[in-house]
Chain A
Amino acid sequence: MRKKEYFADSEEASLLYREEFRDMKTEEPEVAPSPEKDKFEIIGKSTSRIDGEKIVTGRAPYTHDIKLRGMLYGKILRSPHACAEVISMDISQVQSLPGVKAAIQLKKGRVTYAGEQVAAVAAVDEKTAEQALKLIKVEYKSLPFAVTEEKAMEEGAPQVRKRPNVQKFNEYTRGNIDKGFKEADFVLENTYKTAVEIHHPAETHGSVAKWEGERLTVWDSTQAIFGVRDGLARALKIPASRIKVIKHYMGGGFGSKLGINDYTVAAAMLAKQANKPVKIILSRRENSLCVGNRPSSLQTIKGGVKKDGTLTALYLKNYTSGGIGRGDYCSEPVVDLYKCPNVQVEEHSVFTNTGASRPTRAPGHVQGTFALEGFLEELANKINLDPLELRKKNYSTKNQGDKETPYSSKGLNKCYQLGAEKIGWKRRNKRPGEGNGKVRRGLGVASQIWWGVGRAGTQADVKLHPDGSVEAICGTQDIGCGTRTYMATITAETLGLRPKDVTVKIGNTEYPWCGGSGGSTTTPSVAPAIRDAALKAADYLKKMAAEKLKAKPDEINITKGKFSNKNDPVQSIGYKKLIEELRKERKFRREKVFHGEYVGRPSGFAYNTFGAHFAEVEVDVETGKVKVLKVVGVHEIGRLINKITAESQIIGGITQGVSTALFEERIMDNTTGNVANPNFRDYKIATSLDIPEITPLIVDTVDPRINNLGAKGLGEPPRIPPAGAIANAVYNAIGVHVREIPMTPDKVLQALKRKEVD
């Protein structure tokens, strides 16, 4: 049986993530949704965040900001060894320090990475808790370890887990790869490498736990309140019904906060022992060690193409390392993005003595797309074809990896067209590196496929009060994407009100159930559920209005706070007036709750999101320094719900992508077993001077059947292509592909030397 208790730290995180966010089977909806006919006034336009004022005034409460009466501060003792046996532990000295209220041992046996938690204390303040940690005596027997992939793959390397360090975890075949290579006019093989990244959300991970008798309340900086609740129930062996998890605001997660964490369990245990609330906030250093990372990859792609650009074969072999956890599935772009009859994949995980991986915004796809798109760029050059034409030539209308199922909607061609126009694709170097001078410019493109469907079973309520006020309620969480805002706009749109008329309640497990916010599932789950609830509320109001206007309910139109008769628009009644009359007539005296749900989508179609990014760069060929000048990101996401926040997500995805392409790399040291750069000085992240001019564009489409709004997700998509597009632009500028991210000056200089040899 798989151990699901610690989803976030599980060896299987990447597998569980796919099960939760990708392979979501749904029931056939009784009535297939047909959202295309709907015309909206607020949805699709820009609505400012309804919680903007709270945030810009510093009043939005984040988990870091929770302060309870009598609250203690917890700290975790972590293993300084990458691999060691805990021989003995003595926590008895701790209680002698005044102010210390609880201490627990968390580990027996073997620790398998530096940073693994071994004990925890709670004290009246943080300083005392830190001092208390020093009083814990742990005797370790240190053991040999391997913290880099290279070392772990060596023969005779220390074994990280109870089986060999290299484990095959994915295989895929369609057609016949050898036949494909034979049919090709050109065959090319290259290897691409991506570094381990750390999520580093602005708000470090943390939880506050408080017991009231048998009931536990936890405030958590999480992307998944119900996941944390259920995980806590399993870890503490208490019923889920006794646990409440709250998350008001969260300072970013990017996949590292998708499940139950061991420190949250520790906080609950310490709180129980001390009989007082306990708060544990991790440090930035801890964030670098033990709350996830994006697995590295070493991908060899071999592909065949005909002179006219038709792909005949794609083969991928991937070695990916997620520490003591599994690596990422990086093969989906190779399998699904382009039409290709013969595809073969094998993926291997490499265990190292480092913290377990966690899903990182577009897991596997960031790495896989960088490799595939780089490969296609070099392939296009080989046959002298415009790289964009190569992509269009192999356009696929079916998801070949998913049994050749036709896409419900796919707007990638439109993305290519809009993006190429906007960046001025014709300006690119016809031959890579054909320019002169010390500073050279180039253009590059990369495309993207992602999931982005909703989770069936997502529930939401719309509540009407007899005073006319309205609530939109869902147990989801706003992780920065504007969930609160679109819940208000959808409810308002449906009831003919303004977004500010709607009070939104989220972030509490006492509200209707919703899954974790990951995998671009939040909007396509929550939006249809809230729309469903709002439509039911609208039906009730229409019925009531119809009685007043002596019409049939389906003859009633709702717009701008008014109910009117379609056939005779002069006949109308305002929202407020209607409610007031109903109240006076004693027809509407208690709040009415309308329950909505997202039930699913028709089978027989593949539901995916698409996009294409175009980048322009400048490369100093003497120093190897890359400057990204422009990125145009075009996305097809079904119906657009809120323009301004959707654009923000695209801008954010590109910004993170620039950082991935140029700077981000967790560096492990094989001698000490430690992360060499566990801080923002040495783990380099792009900020304002590194950010290019960014143009977000959204293709205006509506998926005809995915849900009642025709909307798909947008969380991961814009994070996927930037690194590939930028690397391809560098190739176009200097005539050699760097094939490795981050493209730091030393690597660019090295690539330029390869060019001289070539």
Chain B
Amino acid sequence: MIETINFKLNDKPTRLNVDGERMLLWALRSELSLTGTKFGCGEGFCGSCTVLVNKEAVRSCQFPVKDVKGKDVITIEGLAKNGNLHPLQKAFIKHDALQCGFCTPGMILNAYSVLLKNPQPSHKDILQNMDENLCRCGAHTRIVQAIKTAAKEMIGGEKR
């Protein structure tokens, strides 16, 4: 059913006329041309499509777009502010926490949700929370380092 959906996307009020049953991933990628959110499996297993809805990380391939009504959605395109990279983005580059880079947006957003809830996570906290995102090139150990670095930089708020 085509419906009008009003929500906030990367801090901007956004209106979409779409089939409410369409998954958020495809609405973002097609209707809104935000292709930073990736399709990896479409079954909620790989985490490439992770975005934040009201600060919670969700799998956008399993999230009907009707459920973002009135909510706050953040995608990878909305993480850098005023042209300044987010500490997580900087740390991912610094530690080379990626190879092909396809899983990276989902990794960063999942990490972001982890840090929002727990600004100083332990090594184990990071492993357990990042565990659900797949990186086929195998950058996990460096992703964990990057998150630790970003967490340090974010002490006292997100300096950007």
Chain A directly contacts chain B within the complex, with at least one CB pair under 8 Å:
yes
Cβ-neighbour of B36 out of A57, A679, A691 (below 8 A)? A57
Which A residues from 685 to 735 make CB contacts under 8 A with B? 685, 687-689, 691, 693-694
CB closest residue in chain B, given A73: B30
Given contacts A56-B108, A57-B85, contact A250 B135 (CB under 8 A): no
CB closest residue in chain A, given B88: A56
B104 touches A56 (CB 8 A): yes
B138 touches A655 (CB 8 A): yes
In whole angstroms, what is the CA distance A60 to B36 when docked? 8
Best-surrounded residue of B39, B79, B103 (most CB of chain A within 10 A) = B39
A58 touches B102 (CB 8 A): no
Is A479 in the interface zone, CB < 8 Å from B?
yes
Cβ-neighbour of B141 out of A61, A284, A655, A681 (below 8 A)? A655
Is A644 in the interface zone, CB < 8 Å from B?
yes
B43 touches A284 (CB 8 A): yes
Contacts of B140 in A (CB 8 A): 655, 687-688, 691
A688 touches B131 (CB 8 A): yes
Is B158 in the interface zone, CB < 8 Å from A?
no
Cβ-neighbour of A58 out of B75, B132, B136 (below 8 A)? B75
CB closest residue in chain A, given B36: A58
B105 touches A202 (CB 8 A): no
B99 touches A480 (CB 8 A): yes
A202 touches B136 (CB 8 A): yes
Given contacts A52-B92, A56-B92, A681-B43, contact A652 B102 (CB under 8 A): no
In whole angstroms, what is the CA distance A64 to B49 when docked? 13
A284 touches B41 (CB 8 A): yes
Given contacts A67-B33, A200-B136, A202-B136, contact A55 B40 (CB under 8 A): no
Is B98 in the interface zone, CB < 8 Å from A?
yes
A656 touches B43 (CB 8 A): no
Contacts of B108 in A (CB 8 A): 56
CB closest residue in chain A, given B26: A126
A61 touches B35 (CB 8 A): yes
Is A77 in the interface zone, CB < 8 Å from B?
no
A64 touches B138 (CB 8 A): no
In whole angstroms, what is the CA distance A694 to B140 when docked? 10
Q: Mark B85-99, 1 if CB is under 8 A from A, else 0.
A: 100110011101011
In whole angstroms, what is the CA distance A252 to B128 when docked? 25
Given contacts A49-B93, A649-B99, A651-B142, contact A680 B134 (CB under 8 A): yes
Which B residues from 85 to 127 make CB contacts under 8 A with A? 85, 88-89, 92-94, 96, 98-105, 108, 126-127
Best-surrounded residue of B41, B45, B48, B80 (most CB of chain A within 10 A) = B41
Contacts of A283 in B (CB 8 A): 42
In whole angstroms, what is the CA distance A281 to B42 when docked? 12
Is A645 in the interface zone, CB < 8 Å from B?
yes
Contacts of B96 in A (CB 8 A): 48-49, 52, 644-645, 647-648
B138 touches A656 (CB 8 A): yes
Is A251 in the interface zone, CB < 8 Å from B?
yes
Best-surrounded residue of A203, A250, A656, A659 (most CB of chain B within 10 A) = A203
A481 touches B99 (CB 8 A): yes
Contacts of B135 in A (CB 8 A): 202, 655, 687
24 A-B residue pairs with CB within 8 Å: A49-B93, A52-B93, A55-B101, A55-B104, A57-B36, A58-B34, A58-B105, A65-B29, A67-B35, A201-B100, A202-B38, A202-B40, A249-B102, A251-B100, A251-B101, A252-B136, A284-B40, A284-B41, A480-B101, A680-B45, A681-B43, A681-B45, A687-B130, A689-B131
- List 5 A-B pairs, minimum CB-CB distance, nearest first: A58-B36, A655-B138, A251-B102, A480-B99, A480-B100
B-binding residues in A (CB < 8 A):
48-49, 52-53, 55-62, 64-65, 67, 200-204, 249-252, 254, 281, 283-284, 479-481, 644-645, 647-649, 651-656, 659, 679-681, 685, 687-689, 691, 693-694
4 new A-B pairs (CB below 8 Å) besides A48-B93, A252-B99, A655-B140? A58-B37, A58-B75, A58-B105, A202-B48
